[in-house]
Amino acid sequence: MTIAELWRYPVKSMGGEALREVALREDGVAGDRALHVEDRSGRVLTSRTRPGLLGHRATLAADGRIRVDGRDWTDESVAADVARAAGPGTRLVPSDQPDRFDVLPLLVATDGAIAAIGEDRRRFRPNILVAGVEGLGERTWEGRVLKMGECLIAAQDLRQRCVMTTFHPDTLAQDVGVLRRIVDEFDGVLGLNCSVLRAGALHVGDVVELVD
């Protein structure tokens, strides 16, 4: 097995960026979910209820600044786009707490499971896509440890999927049948919630092993 893709999502619920290498820290991929959207009351908003956020793409520039659709995240035009997507009074806010993730810092998906459901893998927003996995082999990984390059990653449990999977990553067209199939054919779960046991660098092409 090898790492096929690495993804970072600098803004929670926006589109992310595919990378050739990432720095993996104890709290996940460096720069992942560094910003989120809040309303006036401080409530965090996601694309579960504001799917328009998925139509914007966030990247981390060489200078360390987050950009949204190529503009610095503090640009007034970005603020206007966020308000249009998430509602009046909403804004981007730095996320500097460990609980900025929905479950755990990493989501690992496998090519076998993606092929089994037959949908665009971007619907499932993985940080790491592992290639060379036969069928639904990931379902035997709960509670086990994965060695990826120089890193050790603990696979805690299978990820319960939500309405976000129903939105096409490019068109935002909704297909509720995607989630219905996940529930009916995959018991509602796909991919793995993971934590970092040993940090380090990850690269596309790194060997992946079950080491426990």
Q: Distances in Å between the alpha carbon of 192 and those of 44, 78, 106, 128, 206? A: 23, 32, 8, 10, 19
At residue 85, φ and ψ (nearest 5 deg) are -80, -35
In this prediction the pTM is: 0.95
Tell me the mean pLDDT in the region 175-197.
Answer: 97
| 131-141 residue pLDDT tens | 999 999 999 99
Extents of the domains making up the chain:
22-27+101-210, 29-99
Region 22-27+101-210: CATH code = 2.40.33.20
| Cβ neighbours of residue 27 closer than 8 Å, sequence gap 6 or more | 98, 105, 196
| 149-168 residue pLDDT tens | 999 999 999 999 999 999 99
| Cβ neighbours of residue 108 closer than 8 Å, sequence gap 6 or more | 126, 127, 128, 129, 130, 138, 146, 153, 155, 191, 192, 194
Distance CA 196, CA 121 (A): 22
| 53-90 residue pLDDT tens | 999 999 999 999 999 999 999 999 999 999 999 999 99
